[in-house]
Every structure is written in structure tokens, then in C-alpha cells.
Amino acid sequence: MNPAYVALESGHVLEGRARAPGTARGELVFTTAYTGYEESLTDPSYEEQILTFSYPLIGNYGVREDRFESDRIHPRAVLARELTDDVADWLASEGVPAVDHLDTRDVVTDVREGGAMKCGIAVGEDITPDDARAELEQCEAMSDHTEIGAQVSVDEPVVRGADNDGPTVALVDCGAKGSIVDSLLARNATVHVLPHDVSTADVEAVDPDVLFVSNGPGDPVNFEAAIDLVQAFVEDTPVAGICLGQQIVAEALGGVTEKMTFGHRGVNQPVLDLESGRVVMTTQNHGYTVAEPGDHLEVTQINVNDDTPEGLDGIEYDVLTRQYHPEANPGPEDTLDFFDDVLAMATPRRSPRAIPADD
């Protein structure tokens, strides 16, 4: 078996089993999800990151394309306690280095104590620890990836559900998961999937009933075009956002965002709705959060573990955002009604069609 080395910003160099060859660098993060590895690996929000699975066995139910959230794997490399051959072969086929036989408890502890950190990976024949260290030395901080949106966004507008007669949604694709679009289509919306840097004029041409800012990777302040769009449309058009989208909306309306120590990544994050007192379990994948909502937004939901904002509503504007992923995939579906609430903000002539609760 070929060697595999993982060099951490903390100074540690780990040795594991080679499962897919190559070299890589990125921000080391972990997910506590115990299922849904296909969805996680194809989530664009993991772009420029190295993903560690804290669950010990990854791949026990194979690999199926119908579970993918995009058309490719997004993490730069993958670490695990044990990967099955199905997953290892899939990673190798896409050129994504993978290492297992690691003590992922130690890796997770390092990240929790030291924060998400730079990491270098080297896997393959004649590889040495110095090769991993060389990757680490070239690793950039997430905030330095100023053009990350272009890596995960559509290049040209795409129209989905053109024959639907519900609201028209302009979805700003900053790295959108496929299931977000599917959730809107299931409610009879027509969805215009637009590039992350789409112009105001091109959005005006769509004449949307709702402007929707998607999830995605990286620092929200680097998505200047999306911030400008929210500012241009918020007075006249309802605005919604998920994950990075919530952060972008907050930045646009005078709020402040900040990097978290190690973020929220998993499928069991508890969220409290401040009005109803209801607690729901949510799927999350983010390393930044809203530190201050500003004067135009109010916090309506918080994370039970650390009180970070999980939901924002507009005070004088029609704005509705969530830090977690209501569409789940993977994870619980406690919050799918978010999409009904978003489409309900659309003009009355285009009210959303009710769908069965078990859809």
C-alpha cells in the first residue's frame, strides 16, 4: 500500500492508508453527519476544503448518482477512519486524494481546539511527509479565495420549471445544492438559476417575484455582486437566502459577518424558534456566521448550542433567510416549510401550490 501523509497547520503530520492518490491543500474541517456522504461530497459549500468524516465508516451503502447535490465532488481531499472501496474508487475516479486508517477523533479534537486550519495532503508512490508539508505551505486562507464563486456557479443562466405557473424565482447561484432548486420546483415555481456575478439588468429582465441567494463556499464579503443585487432589489422584491445566502443578505443590509472557530457541519444541529419556542433539528455546513444583523433585520431563530443566528426576518422589507439547510439532503426534513414561506412572499397573483406533507 502506498504511503499517505496529512500535514496540519498545528504542526502535526499524520500518516494513514492511501485510498486515492494525489496531492491537495485546503482548509481542514469536519462533519458529524453519520449518513449522507454522497450528498456531503457533492455539496459545493465544501469547495477548497479538506473534509474529515467523524463517523467511523463511510461508504456502507454504496454510491448512487441520484443522491448527488452537484455534478462533481467538491472537497479537495477526504479523511476518514475507514472508507469502503466504492467510495475510494469514486474519489480516485475524480482525482480527489483520500486517506483512511486515521484516528479521526484526534483530527476532530485538533480542529475543535485550534479551529479550522490549513492542511496539506500527499498520497501515492514515493510520497514523503515533506510533500504534504509543501502543500501546506502553499495553502491559502478561505478569505483569500476571492474568486471562489466562479468555481461553483453556473456560467450561463439556466431556466428550470419553465412550464410551471407558480412564482418566478431568480436564484443567485453561489454554489447552490441541487435539492434547493428541487424544493422550489416541487412548489410549482419557475427557477432562473443565475451566475453568482449576474448583473442587475439581467435580473431585472427575469422580473422575479423572489430574489433567492443560495448557499456556497467561502467568505461572504467576497461575493460583492450578490451583495449589490440584494441592495438593488430589496425595497421592491422579496429576498430569501440559505446559509451563505443569509450572510450575504446580512452584509447587504448593514449587518456584520465573521468567521467561526470551526463552524457547524452535520445533520443534528438544534435550532430554536424564538417566537414559537419550537426546537428543530437541522442540517448545516458553514464556517461563517452573522455576528450583528444590523438595523434592517431581526434574529428569529438561534442555534441552541452557541446562540448564533439561524434565522433572520426583515423589519421593513420582505426578507426571510436561514443559516441551516431547510432542504436537508442529508438530514432531517423538519424545516421544509421554509420554502412555502418564501414563495408566500411572492405577489398574490402567483401564490404557491400546496403540496402533500410527505412529498
**In order of start, what are the domains of the chain with their CATH numbers?**
3-140 (3.50.30.20), 148-350 (3.40.50.880)
Nearest alpha-carbon partner for 152 in 94, 210, 75: 75
pLDDT, residue 1, reads: 77
pLDDT, residue 348, reads: 56
pLDDT class for 126, splitting at 50, 70, 90? very high
Binding site residue list for L-glutamine: 45, 216, 218, 244, 247, 285, 287-288
Q: What is the pTM of this model?
A: 0.95
pLDDT in tens, 215-241: 999 999 999 999 999 999 999 999 999
What are the Cα distances from residue 39, in Å, to 42, 44, 142, 178, 314?
Answer: 5, 10, 22, 10, 31
pLDDT, residue 217, reads: 98
| Residues with catalytic function | 243, 325, 327
Using an 8 Å Cβ cutoff, are 176 and 74 in contact? no
Segment holding 112, helix H or strand E: helix 104-114
Residue type at 125 in one-letter notation: E
pLDDT mean over 77-88: 98
pLDDT in tens, 146-157: 999 999 999 999
- Candidate from 5-9, 201-205, 329-333 with smallest mean pLDDT: 329-333
Binding site residue list: 45, 216, 218, 244, 247, 285, 287-288
Sequential DSSP letters for 143-180: GG-TTHHHHHS-SS-EEE-TT--S-EEEEEESS--HHH
